[in-house]
């Protein structure tokens, strides 16, 4: 479906439209909703193309223009305008509906994402009495899935739109014991270092964690850490640093997220060294 929408754009876009654009990104959710985001400096010439898209594809529910006039390789700018529908689409993950803002991260393979997060929950070995932290929480997919097996979940995320999405998602799924806050991870860790935290779930970007980020995580003295990684190289590096600070890796479970490629996600279970 993404290819069909992109092919349509390629056929209909004019040179005048293209001159104002830097990127186009397209999402197709497992609920069959499509989102198109145009990224550039001016939306005026894109409005007619937006109208053609919504009139051609009935399942397009979101068309957004994101303003980016920066002189670097950052893809998304700070401000945007909704040209049609909403600034989000609806996804699903492990029985939960997810309102997905176009700025929010989401795995591109929904079926294997459920396998990945199920492995993360399995690694935590939850009994239903735990207090869990979902660091780098995004739109809350991991935390919401975990909340079905734990006493409470607090999600931490620095991107405000993602936090707003996450809290909307918990309300939409009636998860009263799961909530998200917009805060820097370092500040959160120091604010909660005296709390009793049972399990911390971390899902950092490809570059992995900084040593300060690892220190922040262990500041809260969790019994267990479940590390979800999209880069085995940085995971290996980070596990060595965790060990220096008193947490050993019990096992690593790979998950083939991108079949027939070298892309690999991993779930690592860490526990305190006693």
Tens-binned pLDDT, residue by residue, of the chain (274 aa)? 899 999 999 999 989 889 889 999 999 998 999 999 999 998 888 999 999 999 999 999 999 999 998 888 889 998 999 999 999 999 888 889 888 888 887 878 888 999 999 999 999 999 999 999 999 888 888 999 999 999 999 999 988 888 988 899 999 999 999 999 999 888 888 888 888 899 999 998 888 888 888 988 898 999 999 999 999 999 999 999 999 999 999 999 999 988 888 888 999 999 998 8
| Tokens found for residue 201 | 């779930």
In CATH, what number does 93-272 get? Answer: 3.40.50.150
Contact 144, 169 (CB under 8 A): yes
Which tens digit of pLDDT belongs to each residue from 137-147? 888 889 999 99
In CATH, what number does 2-86 get? Answer: 3.30.70
Which tens digit of pLDDT belongs to each residue from 157-213? 988 888 988 899 999 999 999 999 999 888 888 888 888 899 999 998 888 888 888
Q: Checking phi first, is residue 61 left (phi over 0); if not, alpha (psi -120 to 50) or beta?
A: alpha
Please enumerate, by residue number, every residue annotated as part of a binding site for S-adenosyl-L-methionine.
107, 136, 157, 203
* Extended beta strands in 123-272, E state: 131-135, 152-157, 178-182, 199-202, 224-229, 247-255, 265-272
Q: Checking phi first, is residue 136 left (phi over 0); if not, alpha (psi -120 to 50) or beta?
A: left
What is the reported pTM? 0.82
Q: What is the pLDDT of residue 192?
A: 86
Residue numbers annotated as active site: 230
Give CATH 3.40.50.150 domain extents, the chain: 93-272
Q: How far is CA 69 from the centre of its chain?
A: 25
Grouping H, G, I as helix, E, B as strand and the rest as coil, residue 208 is coil
Give CATH 3.30.70 domain extents, the chain: 2-86
Grouping H, G, I as helix, E, B as strand and the rest as coil, residue 235 is helix
Residues 6+ apart with CB under 8 A from 100: 27, 29, 35, 88, 89, 90, 91, 106, 139, 165
| Tokens found for residue 23 | 């990127």
């Amino acid at each position: 479906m993404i290819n069909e929408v992109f092919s349509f754009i390629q056929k209909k876009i004019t040179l005048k439209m293209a001159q104002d654009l830097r990127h186009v990104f397209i999402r197709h959710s497992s609920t069959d909703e499509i989102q198109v985001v145009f990224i550039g400096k001016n939306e005026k010439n894109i409005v007619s193309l937006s109208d053609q898209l919504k009139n051609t594809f009935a399942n397009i529910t979101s068309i957004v223009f994101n303003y980016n006039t920066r002189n670097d390789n950052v893809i998304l700018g700070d401000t945007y305008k909704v040209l049609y529908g909403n600034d989000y689409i609806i996804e699903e993950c492990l029985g939960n509906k997810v309102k997905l803002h176009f700025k929010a991260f989401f795995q591109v393979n929904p079926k294997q994402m459920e396998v990945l997060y199920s492995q993360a929950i399995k690694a935590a070995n939850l009994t239903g009495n735990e207090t869990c932290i979902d660091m780098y929480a995004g739109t809350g997919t991991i935390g919401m899935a975990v909340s079905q097996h734990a006493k409470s979940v607090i999600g931490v995320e620095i991107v405000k739109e993602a936090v707003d999405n996450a809290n909307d998602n918990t309300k939409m799924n009636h998860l009263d014991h799961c909530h998200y806050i917009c805060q820097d991870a370092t500040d959160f860790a120091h604010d909660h270092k005296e709390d009793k935290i049972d399990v911390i779930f971390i899902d950092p970007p490809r570059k992995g964690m900084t040593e300060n980020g690892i220190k922040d995580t262990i500041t809260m003295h969790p019994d267990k850490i479940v590390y979800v990684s999209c880069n085995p190289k940085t995971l290996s590096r980070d596990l060595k640093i965790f060990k220096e600070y008193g947490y050993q890796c019990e096992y690593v479970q790979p998950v083939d997220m991108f079949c027939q490629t070298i892309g690999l996600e991993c779930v690592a279970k860490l526990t305190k060294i006693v």
